[in-house]
Structure 1
Amino acid sequence: MKNKTKGESPEEMITPKDIRKVKEAVREIIPAHRQVKGRPREYSDRTIVLLYVIFILFRCSSIVEMYKMIEGKKRVLKVIGELPSRQTLSYRLRRLDIEAISRRIIESIKGGTYIIDSTPIKDITNQGIKKCKNLKFGKNRDGFFWGKKVHFIITQEGIPVKFKLTQANEDDARVGKEMLDNLNGLIIADRGYFKWSFLSQFTKEGDLRAIVRPKSRKKDSSFKEKHSQTYSKRWKIERLFQKMKEVFRVEIPRKGGRDDLLSRVTALFLTVVTLAFSKFVLNYPILDYLNCC
């Protein structure tokens, strides 16, 4: 990987070697597709994910822009291979089996400690409520917002393993309960998860334990004495959310075509997984300034 130079754009900083490492990480993360019925697919899920990771890394505003950039870089195109149509790329991303991908990531990394949290994805388009009927009002520590909410589970190293996009007014504890499948070890969570619906999933006999910050100030003081070192690992998920908005610009719709927030968040999830996997598993960090860990 080239050293970062002031003024360089992402496509100037990323080399064909970086793309090969991205491709290698994607191959480890994405299960091989097994065709059960229907017409055989011309492009694998791995190719679709690779292209969306490149789309995010190069900070493209549209698929057209990305394709023009790739086609102008013959060495990069050689690593990627034949490009699907833009329609095929969009269609296939929306139909990826994210649960299967999450299971494969969990099996690959065998993490022992996880962090769960959510962050608002605010509507910043100023289109008005009438044009955004699929959004809701939500509330966080900064007050009310109009948009949706994304929930993430990451390892203590910073590798995302699960995500879920919900309405802005969904309860964190209820959604968190639904995301605990296939996890073993320790879950770290903030006050928003200190509810029976979430805490009831953890028993002394179970394979899953939790450190959840209590809402009571009286209990909070003893909690800090006992768990402050472990609980402090939450900074990694907070930094991830910061990077999502400042670097990956998840709240900014793409130009042209069908803008789909779920597609944006899915592409972002796959990109951050790939970057983290490349760093921690393949020992090859890509673009340090994008590094969330």
Structure 2
Amino acid sequence: MKSITTSAVMLALAAASLPSGAQASPLEFGAQASPVGKWLANTFDKSNQCSEGHAYVAKGVMKSALERTRIEPEDTIASFCAAVRQEAGTLRASCFDTCEADFAAAFDSRKQGQQEAERERIAQAERARTAELEKQQAIAQRHADLKSGRVKPDNLEEAAIVHGARPGDGIVSSPKLRPDGALYYLHGRIKHADARPVFFAVPTMSQVDQMNLAVYNLRGIGRQLNVPESTDYFKVLVPKALQEAYFANARIEGGFDLVGRYSAITTYRNALGQEKTGPVFEVVYFKPW
């Protein structure tokens, strides 16, 4: 970095000249923004006491220093301080007797602050990496426990992991001609059911998505968003092991999460009177909401 010369300070002084007798406030030059700014504020106060031309000198010093906040080499600081004294001239250069020491101390303090900030940044990044690693390890352990049967799934996402299920919305809207016996997961709403462990349903958004949509519409942030209900139906067979929980908790128009095996095809008439074909799922996981 080039040293700050007398001419540089002169240019700074000329560019920042104040009307005769004007006072310069340290806050105008960001004096509180850094250790350098604080030193400049002290210089300003000192020049108030030492010289009638303090406004010119103080403003020039501040402008030059703040434009060069990365000044660090000793020769640069020395050149800067020498230029300041030369410009001070009869305006009592003794006001800047401690310029080198004060300026060096200010930058040392600033550098220490930067180093501490960098150390904290590195520490934060390391903590974040550690937290992410622990999170991934916990997820991997949870998945292993689910697949081994040591724990039961708490939600549809975990149930899909346990059973290796695929998304089932596409099967509902366009069933395969031959049921593949694979496991699929989906959200639905019960539309038709009776005393038998069988019901017809339509696919829906998840419970969380429906709640978020309701909150969005309630807040009136933008235009109301309405998602039309699907006219595609699918049939669900509830096995004996799940029938007690099904009859105790399921409701007409109630939502549910499902993992089921695509085992057959059925025909039905939808709400529009159209005859359509839909898949039949045998339940392996069912959670009403």
Same fold? TM cut 0.5? no
Considering fraction of residues, name the structure with more helix: 2
Question: What TM-score comes out, normalization by structure 1 length?
Answer: 0.21
Question: What TM-score comes out, normalization by structure 2 length?
Answer: 0.22
* Structure with higher RCO (Cα < 8 A, 6+ apart): 1
